[in-house]
Amino acid sequence: MNIKDAAQRVGLPAKTIRYYEEIGLVTPDRATNGYRDFSDAHLHKLAFLAHARGLGFSIEDCRSLLALWEDQDRASGDVRAIATQHLAAIEAKIAGLEDMRATLADLVNACAGDARPDCPIIERLQQGGGGIS
């Protein structure tokens, strides 16, 4: 199957598939004409990568998860460790976003939003104390 058909089947852009090939995550066969030839096994790998990236795993995490997926002697604890670390990173980002939202909400509430030039939002941003790091 060519890259266009593979892209349609797994729901990834061809450019992404080429990138995955470039960094060694997927190595499709080559037809006699030199074109990429994707097998069902390649499609499964690409779908796996699409799902992992959809959950926000980094490329390196995907590389590790893919290696574990292909290893029939893997320990589920190794997979869980990667997922647990990623979950902690997501939770930290959420906490940061919640802090950012609270700070911005306070600034919006403090601003009269009228025709006067004084504005707590501008003042806070000018001071560098927007609460966003």
* Same domain as 51, residue 4: yes
* Same domain as 85, residue 44: no
Mean pLDDT of the region 93-112: 95
**Residue of 123, 132, 128 whose CA lies nearest to 104:** 132
Q: Give me the pLDDT at residue 130, please.
A: 54
Q: Give me the pLDDT at residue 128, please.
A: 79
| Cα distance between residue 124 and residue 30, in whole Å | 59
* Same domain as 84, residue 50: no
Question: Could you give the 3-state DSSP secondary structure of residue 31?
Answer: coil
* Same domain as 132, residue 79: yes
* Same domain as 113, residue 84: yes
- pLDDT tens for 59-90 read 999 999 999 999 999 999 999 999 999 999 99
* Same domain as 41, residue 83: no
Q: Give me the pLDDT at residue 76, please.
A: 97
Say yes or no to pLDDT of 108 above 80: yes
* Same domain as 42, residue 12: yes
Does residue 70 lie in a domain region? no
Q: Give me the pLDDT at residue 133, please.
A: 45
| Cα distance between residue 75 and residue 62, in whole Å | 16
The answer to whether 48 and 79 are in contact (CB under 8 A) is: no
Which residue segment(s) compose the domain that 37 sits in?
Answer: 1-57
- pLDDT tens for 29-61 read 999 999 999 999 999 999 999 999 999 999 999
Does residue 2 lie in a domain region? yes
